[in-house]
Amino acid sequence: GRASAPLAALSQVLRLERSRRTAIVFPLQKLERYLAPGTDTARFRLFQPGLAALQRAEALFRSDRGHPIDYVSSAVRMDHAPPPALPEVCFIGRSNVGKSSLIRALFSLAPEVEIRVSKTPGHTKKMNFFKVGKYFTLVDMPGYGYRAPQDFVEMVEAYLQERHNLKRTFLLVDSVVGLQKTDHIAVEMLEEFGIPYVMVLTKIDRASRGLLLKNVLEIQEFVKENTQGCFPQLFLVSSVEFSGVHLLRCFVAHVTGNLPTVEAC
Ligand code: GDP
């Protein structure tokens, strides 16, 4: 199996000094002090769990004999999807946005989970279902690109429209390049379907602080002005440094109803 990354577990993060720890657990908050005075930061802190909630969420993502985390199946059509028995979340985004890396990081405490990637051009794009014990399922949707074939678009649309146990869609956006045309198309689709979603900015270790701040503020403004269904707080992640991964685990646990009370820290 894979060795887990150095900061994959909260216990490792807690050993860091305070400012580094904040940067890893709450990367968005870390940016706050570089904002112009008077900037409204309410949207930076809507979901701000305490340590106990973060730890409870981590336990869900840590497999053991009594709590298996498994790849379940792949599907190309909705009638091949497993029964909608548990609350579900799905991850969508452009090809290369960092989706498989992020799912690998989320599941890094369950090293037996195999994240399948089908990137070869022409290779059938599938929805991959993962089951997290008896608590929730997570779906890795095929990456979309400007040449996404029609049947792929139809599969994603059918899934988003028909999946009644879908609690939240995580739309991944590259923090280095910001919202691209295809991201806007995805937003329009999610808005049209009226389903709740949240934007996750990936690869934040690759963006300079200035660029990250610019893209965060721009995307936040876009969400405020143009969306109904998008959660106002952006989630920032680096799958390399593990920043934002613990918070994202906690948000997944929360939206799937597995964290009934999220206390403030
Ligand atoms: P996917 O097509 O969306 O599944 O994207 P991948 O997870 O395969 O990532 C695409 C490329 O970006 C790969 O070269 C990854 O190594 C790189 N990548 C993904 N996440 C990160 C990240 O958080 N930081 C950095 N620096 N690179 C990343």
Q: What is the pLDDT of residue 1?
A: 41
Note the pLDDT of residue 150.
74
Centroid of ligand 1 to alpha carbon of 97 (angstroms)? 6
- Give the residue whose CA is nearest to atom 27 of ligand 1: 203
Which residue lies with its CA nearest to atom 2 of ligand 1? 96
User: What percent of the chain is modeled with pLDDT above 70?
Assistant: 91
The pLDDT of residue 118 is: 58
Neighbours of 20 (CB within 10 A): 14
**pLDDT for res 257:** 97
For residue 2, what pLDDT is reported? 52
Angle at Cα 201 formed by Cα 137 and Cα 199, nearest 5°?
A: 55
Domains of the chain from N-terminus onward: 40-256 (3.40.50.300)
| Ligand 1 pocket list (CB less than 6 A) | 93, 95-101, 143, 202-203, 205-206, 238-240
Q: Which atom of ligand 1 is nearest to the CA of 93?
A: 3
Q: Look at 154 and 253; give whichever has higher pLDDT.
A: 253
Ligand 1 centroid–CA 98 distance in Å is 4
The β-bridge partners of 65 are: none
Split at pLDDT 50, 70, 90, the class of 37 is confident
- What pLDDT does 124 receive? 62
Helix (H, G, I), strand (E, B) or coil at 84: coil
Average pLDDT over residues 41-66: 94
166 sits in the region (left: phi over 0; alpha: psi -120 to 50; else beta) called beta
Q: How far is the CA of 36 from the centre of ligand 1 (A)?
A: 31
Task: Name residue 224's amino acid.
Answer: K
Kindly provide the b/e burial profile for residues 36-75, where b requires at least 16 CB atoms within 10 angstroms of the residue's own CB.
eeeeeeebbeebbbeeebbbbbbebbbbeeeeebebeebb
Q: What is the pLDDT of residues 75-93, one digit of tens each?
A: 988 999 999 999 999 999 9
241 CA closest ligand 1 atom index: 23
Tens digits of residue pLDDT in 194-208: 999 999 999 999 999
CA 37 to chain centre: 30
Nearest atom in ligand 1 to 202's CA:
23
pTM listed for this prediction: 0.94
The minimum-distance atom of ligand 1 relative to the CA of 104 is 7
For residue 156, give the 3-state DSSP assignment.
helix
Q: Identify the three-state secondary structure at position 233.
A: coil
Give residue 75 CA to ligand 1 midpoint distance, Å.
Answer: 23
